Amino acid sequence: MSKKILIIGGEGNGGVVAACIEDMRLRHRILEWEVAGFINDYEQSVSGYPVLGGTGDLQDILRRHPDYYLMWAIHTIGRNYLIEKVFNKANIPAERLATIVHPSAFVAPTAHLEPGVFVMSNCYVGPSAHIGLCCMLMANSLVAHDTRVGPLCHFSAGSITGSYNTIGKCSSIAYGTVVLEKKNIGNFAVAGASSLVTKDIPDGEIHIGIPARFMKKVAEA
């Protein structure tokens, strides 16, 4: 029997998670997960699925559905402080978080995925990499060997994060960005789209360009 999952988020990241699960079920005949609906504060349905309640209803929903799992799919690039604030308020038990890896992705046997990680199609997670709680790796993204990633990070499609890097919590590596090896990306930091990161990015800063340079501070929650 498939395990029921509720996706916390909207049509963007949440829709990607739902599409991944449906692809696993229909094309790959992997029936481990089944989308039961969404948790969303603003909509009544998302991507054709019902909304069972808002983030403020989570604890009640968990009590009423003790067999349901959750997938965190909220990540707003540039409002990274807000991500942690909303996540902490939700107070989700780690044992109720689903971890989903598309069958076309490669995750090295020595890599470690914490609960709630989402790995989309054609991703690569290298040996001894550590991916933190509720991180999202979108299609064709790469996290190389021995890189440590904090919780609630987002790797957009086509991003490449080199080896021996450290990525802080709630940070964003945007579309097509390359982070060279042995760099430190701080907490709540953003490497903007199509950038080449050759230097560290401090906490709460957005860097963009080739090479990536400081653009502005991340908005406070």
Q: Do 25 and 90 meet the contact criterion of CB atoms below 8 Å apart?
A: no
Give percent above pLDDT 70 in the chain: 100
Question: How much of the chain is in helix, strand and coil states, percent to nearest 5?
Answer: 15, 30, 50
pLDDT tens, position by position, 75-87:
999 999 999 999 9
First-to-final CA distance of the chain: 41
Shortest CA distance to 145 belongs to which of 159, 163, 161?
Answer: 163
Q: Do 20 and 121 meet the contact criterion of CB atoms below 8 Å apart?
A: yes
Whether the predicted pLDDT of 207 surpasses 70: yes
Shortest CA distance to 155 belongs to which of 190, 108, 199?
Answer: 190
Torsional sign, CA 186, 214, 163, 103: positive
Give the chain's count of helices (H) and strands (E).
3, 24
Q: What is the pTM of this model?
A: 0.96
In the chain the domains, ranked by start, together with CATH numbers, are: 3-74 (3.40.50.20), 100-217 (2.160.10.10)
pLDDT tens, position by position, 18-52:
999 999 999 999 999 999 999 999 999 999 999 99
Q: Do 41 and 54 meet the contact criterion of CB atoms below 8 Å apart?
A: yes
Tokens of 111: 């890599």
Quote the pLDDT of residue 84. Answer: 95
d(CA 155, CA 32): 24
